[in-house]
């Protein structure tokens, strides 16, 4: 049993449309290039592979990609794009589900580790990544830095997009680190559709501690896929942890 929200058929059907900006070449190509460079020709495993936004172009670069995905409707959408022989997927949660083999790279993008809404599950996700990595392999996370500095006293909501087509904001509980993304979208017929999803936000330092518990060492942290420096003003980070070359290194859990 996982605490994650489950993407249903309706959400999966609209996922690519509502996430169109994440498919733009200027957004996607740097991510694929970054991940392909780290994989260095070896196999990769994507946690929460979704509809294949990153996995499909990464596989097209010659990197064998396997996925784990909680939502069967999301996998069904991926299957409309590529066959199972090209990008195999196991249905399950990214904290505990395992697949055969060892990988040069395990990655989870676009804040998705936050879909695991308890600290214990997030720790298990790091351990699951380490479990799948070959010695010397890398675990990569793309994650936003919580926008709590933008919260004035007494306010719990932070907008992240306001356009004539979409209004989105996050609400935060700073005691539990639970948060919810709210989306109001205007459709072509003029109607407005509301959707939300829940997540647990994680600070970069907390990620590093989770990695240490999994036997992984921080190798690199940058502000984005373009490799720009991570600073105190960065709103997101791409972090890379490495499994020791000593294959006998113990991973607890």
For residues 143 and 33, the answer to whether their CB atoms sit within 8 Å is: no
Check pLDDT > 80 for residue 251: no
What does the pLDDT read at residue 252? Answer: 45
What does the pLDDT read at residue 249? Answer: 46
What does the pLDDT read at residue 47? Answer: 98
What does the pLDDT read at residue 193? Answer: 87
pTM: 0.90
Could you tell me the pLDDT band of residue 188, with boundaries at 50, 70 and 90?
confident
Q: Rounded to an integer, what distance in angstroms lies between the CA atom of residue 203 and that of residue 146?
A: 7
Mean pLDDT across the stretch 139-162?
88
3-class secondary structure, 183 = strand
Could you tell me the pLDDT band of residue 1, with boundaries at 50, 70 and 90?
low
pLDDT in tens, 25-61: 999 999 999 999 999 999 999 999 999 999 999 999 9
Q: Which of 33-37, 191-195, 241-245 has the lowest mean pLDDT?
A: 191-195
Q: Rounded to an integer, what distance in angstroms lies between the CA atom of residue 235 and that of residue 223?
A: 8
Check pLDDT > 80 for residue 5: no
Mean pLDDT across the stretch 213-219?
98
Mean pLDDT across the stretch 145-158?
84
E strand or H helix at 208: helix 204-213
Q: Using the CB atoms, write b or e for 177-202: b if 16+ within 10 Å.
A: bbbbbbbebeeeeeeeeeeeeebbbb
pLDDT in tens, 56-99: 999 999 999 999 999 999 999 999 999 999 999 999 999 999 99
3-class secondary structure, 90 = strand
The CATH H-level superfamily of 9-146+202-242 is Vaccinia Virus protein VP39 (3.40.50.150)
List the domain boundaries for the chain.
9-146+202-242, 148-197
E strand or H helix at 212: helix 204-213
Residue keyed to tokens 């060892």: 102
CATH of 148-197, one of 2.20.25, 3.40.1700, 3.40.50, 3.30.450: 2.20.25
3-class secondary structure, 39 = helix
What does the pLDDT read at residue 148? Answer: 83
Residue keyed to tokens 């992984």: 216
């Amino acid at each position: 049993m996982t605490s994650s929200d489950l993407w249903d058929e309706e959400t999966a059907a609209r996922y690519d449309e509502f996430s169109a900006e994440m498919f733009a070449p200027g957004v996607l190509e740097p991510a694929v290039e970054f991940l392909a460079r780290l994989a260095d020709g070896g196999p990769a495993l994507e946690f929460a592979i979704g509809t294949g936004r990153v996995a499909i172009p990464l596989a097209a670069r010659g990197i064998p990609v396997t996925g784990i995905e909680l939502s069967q409707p999301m996998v069904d959408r991926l299957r409309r794009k590529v066959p199972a022989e090209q990008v195999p997927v196991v249905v399950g949660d990214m904290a505990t589900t395992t697949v055969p083999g060892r990988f040069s790279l395990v990655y989870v993008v676009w804040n998705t580790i936050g879909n695991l809404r308890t600290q214990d599950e997030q720790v298990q996700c790091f351990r699951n990544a380490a479990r799948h990595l070959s010695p010397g392999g890398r675990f990569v996370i793309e994650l936003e830095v919580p926008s709590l500095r933008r919260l004035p006293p007494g306010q719990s909501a932070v907008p992240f997009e306001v356009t004539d087509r979409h209004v989105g904001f996050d609400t935060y509980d700073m005691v539990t680190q639970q948060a919810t993304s709210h989306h109001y979208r205007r459709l072509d017929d003029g109607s407005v559709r509301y959707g939300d999803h829940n997540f647990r936000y994680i600070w970069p330092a907390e990620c590093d501690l989770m990695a240490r518990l999994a036997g992984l060492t921080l190798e690199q942290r940058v502000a984005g896929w373009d490799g720009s420096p991570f600073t105190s003003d960065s709103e997101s980070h791409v972090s890379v942890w490495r499994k020791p070359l000593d294959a006998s290194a113990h991973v607890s859990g």
